[in-house]
Each structure stands twice: as C-alpha cells, then as structure tokens.
Amino acid sequence: MASDAGGRPPAAGHPAALAPTTPGPGAPGAGTPASGPVRLAPRGCPRPLSEAYDVALLDLDGVVYVGSAAVPGAPEALRAAAGRGMRHAFVTNNAARTPAAIAAQLTGLGVPAAAADVVTSGQAAARLLAQRLPPGVRVLVVGGNGLRIALRERGLRPVSAFAERPAAVVQGFSPDLSYALLAEGALAVANGALFVAANADLTLPTARGAEMGNGSLVRAIAAATGQPPIVAGKPEPPLHAEAVDRTGARRPLVVGDRLDTDIEGAVRAGADSLLVLTGVSRPADVLLAPPSQRPAYLAADLSGLLEPHPQVDVADGAPRCGGWTARLDADSQRLTLAGSGAPIDGLRALCAAAWTAGGISAGLAGPALAELGLGR
C-alpha cells in the first residue's frame, strides 16, 4: 500500500484505501461520523504504527494492565515503541487516583512513566469546570483525591458538603464512595449546582470481572434530581482534547480496548485508533460495531504498535487480508472465511465484509470467528 510523502497512512479517499474513511492522522477537518464518510474496512499502514504516529494516547485498564497485573507483553511493547520514537500518554477515564500514583504503578510494572505522562478524566473535568466558573469557586467532590488535586490545579476549591454552597458538583469513580457523599451531591444538584461527571462508564474491568463503574453511580444523582451531568471522559471530546493539549501531539493514535469509549471517542475527535483485544471488546463486537465505533486498526495486543498493518484488498467482491478471504452471501445470509494465516488478518477481512454490508446479525459472527480460533 502506498503512503504519502510523510510516510503516513493514506487519508480518506486515497486510491490505496479499500473505501473512504475518516481523514488520516493530523489531517485538518477530521471530524465526527456526521462530517465524513463511514469506515468500511480496517486501515492498512506500510510502516510500524510507532513510526507513523508521534504519540500513542493509551487507555490503561484492559490495555496496559488489568487490576494490579500488567497485560502480558505490554511493558515490552511500550518500551520498544518508545525506542522507535513514539511518545506515550496514558489516558484514563478513572478519576480515582492522581497522575503520580498511576505513574508509580506503571513504573512498577516495567512501563517507565512520569506524572506528566498521565491524563485523567478528573483533569478534563477540572478544566471543563474552570472554563465555566470563576477562580476560587467551591466545587463539591463526589469522588476521590485525584479529583480534588485536579480541581486545585485549576484554581477551584474542592468541598464535601452541600452546606458550603458549592457552585458545582463533580463526580468521579472512587471505591470508597459513600451514600452520605452521594446525598450531599444530589442536594447540591437539586438546588442548581452545575453537575459534571468525570466519565460515564457503567462498568470497570477488574481481575474479578466487570464491577460497577462511575456511570452506574452517576445515575443515582441523575435519577434523584432529574439532571443529567455534563461528561468529560471518553467518548466525550474533553478528555481527548486534554490529552492532545498536554502532549502537543500532531499525529495522535488512540489505543484502547473498548469500542464504546476509546474508539468512539477517537471517531468523534477525528483521530485514528487501534483496538487491542486484551480487554472489554471482543472480536464479535468488532464485527458488529456501528460506524461510530469502528477502529482504524486492529491488533491482538500492544505488539500491534511495532508492526506494519496489511491492507485489506478486494478481489471478485470479497475482502482479502493476509492469507484470508471473507465472503458475505446475501442470499443465504452466511459469513464465511477461507484461507490461512494470522488470525488477526482474518478478523480484518471479516470486518471489511461485515462493515461494507452495513452490518450483520450476531448469529453470523460466531461461526466465522470459530474458524480463526478467536471465540466470540
């Protein structure tokens, strides 16, 4: 596949692309799905992604670590990508901890990181509030210490009680969140305080499985007051904007494990994205993804940063990638896969068949994926 003079992947409409997609990295005018064509196939890139993009905006849970353990191979892949010149920012919807605490955890897992390399939804929420409120205003924090520090950095005053007459309420995940603090927040919102949520993830991946996320807890205040929050975290734009601003990224690559937060956030921002299959979203989810959640690239794990990505081509109306050919028979409603090679190439071909058709049913995904040994 050809690349432009700068070695970037082809932009939308480039003859080397299977079908029009959103603009390429750093392209002016990149926007939401409503402002550009729908992605019909994963993108190819003739160079390793670590050389084609200047900054990886990496999600944490399910990408770099799960619980207290590193995703196998993730530290090694990130060190190798950094050695090739790719800078890293760790962008998390979890506002519970401070950037310094997260950086210390990453370093302990073998991923060199400083506090300045971490961008949290708490920081994005604090900026959002600072843009709407004068300095020194009281903000009731329904969450942890990470939110409080982020507010102070923006010149706002964190408080914990409705009696202190806060101008706003900001809610972020905290494993120690109590009913009493939720009640304080609800009273403030019911009496006119601006309501901001760091993120709206309904679940949080842990070593035990999916547990309640901030979005589930935010619904308590929203239900009690009838007031939905302004959301700062993925997939909403503020956190992506915060990450780009803090890193100075010119060609950012969003890397995540969730279609509904990481990838949708990238699509909304007009940024390219890499979905890794080490966390929440599974192969079947990718086949069924609506246009707003289709990644530019697919990889089994973060080693995908170190490799070129093959182009998906079409022969006789059937998408091909690597040694695999996918076909969707409209009459029999069967999605089939033939060939051999790397399973991830087969998944790329299947995505092209499913996305080009405008979507498929869940029942069609299973048999085709079984041939790749990818399960669901």
- What is the reported pLDDT for 258? 93
Q: DSSP secondary structure string, 163-231?
A: GG--SEEEE---TT--HHHHHHHHHHHHTT-EEEES---SEEEETTEEEE-HHHHHHHHHHHHS-PPEE
Looking at residue 257, what DSSP letter applies? S
Q: If residue 351 lies in a helix (H) or strand (E), which one and from where to where?
A: helix 343-356
For the chain, state the CA radius of gyration: 21
- What is the reported pLDDT for 317? 85
Q: What mean pLDDT is predicted for residues 102-122?
A: 96
Instruction: With H, G, I as helix, E, B as strand and everything else as coil, classify residue 141.
Output: strand
Q: Where are the beta strands (DSSP E) in the chain?
A: 55-58, 65-66, 69-70, 87-92, 118-120, 138-142, 157-159, 168-171, 194-197, 203-206, 209-212, 230-231, 252-256, 272-276, 297-299, 313-315, 318-321, 324-329, 334-339
The answer to whether 61 touches 94, Cβ cutoff 8 Å, is yes
- pLDDT greater at residue 221 or residue 328: 221
Residue 108 has pLDDT above 90, yes or no: yes
- What is the reported pLDDT for 107? 97
pLDDT in tens, 296-315: 999 999 999 999 999 999 98
pLDDT in tens, 229-288: 999 999 999 999 999 999 999 999 999 999 999 999 999 999 999 999 999 899 999 999
User: Mean pLDDT, the chain, as a whole number?
Assistant: 88
Q: What mean pLDDT is predicted for residues 42-65?
A: 96
Q: Structure tokens of 321?
A: 């990638």
- What is the reported pLDDT for 368? 83
pLDDT in tens, 115-140: 999 999 999 999 999 999 999 999 99
pLDDT in tens, 8-26: 343 332 223 333 333 343 3
Q: Structure tokens of 278?
A: 């080490």
Cα angle 132, 134, 136 (rounded to 5 degrees) comes to 130
Q: Structure tokens of 309?
A: 């990505």
pTM of the model: 0.86
Instruction: With H, G, I as helix, E, B as strand and everything else as coil, classify residue 83.
Output: helix
Looking at residue 93, what DSSP letter applies? S
Looking at residue 331, what DSSP letter applies? T
The answer to whether 152 touches 126, Cβ cutoff 8 Å, is no
User: What are the residue numbers of the active site?
Assistant: 59, 61
Residue 2 has pLDDT above 60, yes or no: no
Residue 32 has pLDDT above 60, yes or no: no
Dihedral sign computed on CA atoms, order 27, 33, 36, 42: positive
- What is the reported pLDDT for 373? 79
The answer to whether 142 touches 188, Cβ cutoff 8 Å, is no
Instruction: With H, G, I as helix, E, B as strand and everything else as coil, classify residue 275.
Output: strand
Q: Structure tokens of 142?
A: 């329904």
Cα angle 5, 10, 11 (rounded to 5 degrees) comes to 110
- pLDDT greater at residue 361 or residue 343: 343
Residue 68 has pLDDT above 80, yes or no: yes
